[in-house]
Structure 1
Amino acid sequence: MDAVVNIAKDFSEFPFGRYESHGPFNGARFRNEKLLPLLLNGQSVLVDLSDARGLAASFLEEAFGGLVREGLSVEELRRLLKVVSNTDSSLVSEVWFYIEDAAKAVIH
């Protein structure tokens, strides 16, 4: 892995919402500031969800499903992105659900 991004330590212990209007620690900001610059550069990224409190569907879908809407394919993400959580392993499958679901909605 080239980069490790721990949401609780590198972004916020309390991430929330999709957009800027939902607060400063929203999913779009996390995606745009922490993930996209690395992934678009071809860097592999390990995202650690451990210890982030209240990771709502809106945050996760925007942060991770939004990667597909920004032009990354599921195949690229499977190669470059690893998601872990020591506190709630169901979050990992939830993230991949949002990525795959977003891919179904993207018009090619």
Structure 2
Amino acid sequence: MARISISKDFSEYPAGRYRVDGKYSGEVFRDDLLIPTLEKNDIVEINFDGSMGYGSSFLEEAFGGLVRLKKFSKEILHKKLRLSYKEDPFIIEEIWSYIDDARTQV
């Protein structure tokens, strides 16, 4: 099992959707940290505490993008991901909705 603390392992200020939006965007998080960690581990715990908030563009790109870009299926992500955010548990529901509602690109 691997653990990712976004505030400690990535940034206290995650923002933006695409790499061009900055070095702490959802695309950077997904491609540079999340995908490699998911590929190497059966379970990945992600802790969202300690950052200054999460925009929907960051979250959708980081998590919905996993399915949309055909990196992982929704079913696999439900088995592999453990998400926690004591400061705002609603964000966890939002992330699962991005995963569950994502459609793969043709």
**TM-score, normalised on structure 2?**
0.92
Post-superposition Cα deviations, 1:17-47, rounded to whole Å, max 9, x if no partner, equal 0111111100001011111012123431001
Structure 2: runs of 5 or more not aligned: none
Kindly indicate whether residue 11 of structure 2 is the aligned counterpart of residue 12 of structure 1.
yes
SS of corresponding position for 2:51: coil
- Aligned amino acid, residue 33 of structure 1: D
| C-alpha displacement of 1:15 | 0.2
Taking the aligned partners of 1:20 and 1:33, their CA distance within structure 2 comes to 11
Structure 2 matches for 1:78-93, cutoff 5 A? Answer: 78-93=78-93
- Aligned amino acid, residue 104 of structure 2: V
Q: Match for residue 100 of structure 1?
A: 100
The question of whether the paired residues in 1 share the 8 Å contact of 2:69 and 2:104 is answered with no
Kindly indicate whether residue 29 of structure 2 is the aligned counterpart of residue 57 of structure 1.
no
- Aligned amino acid, residue 35 of structure 1: L
Q: How many corresponding residue pairs?
A: 105
SS of corresponding position for 1:47: strand
Report percent identity of matched pairs.
41
RMSD: 1.4
Taking the aligned partners of 1:107 and 1:22, their CA distance within structure 2 comes to 22
Displaced runs of 4 or more, over 6 A: none
SS of corresponding position for 1:82: strand
Taking the aligned partners of 2:69 and 2:43, their CA distance within structure 1 comes to 17
Taking the aligned partners of 1:23 and 1:38, their CA distance within structure 2 comes to 21
The question of whether the paired residues in 2 share the 8 Å contact of 1:38 and 1:44 is answered with no
Structure 1: runs of 5 or more not aligned: none
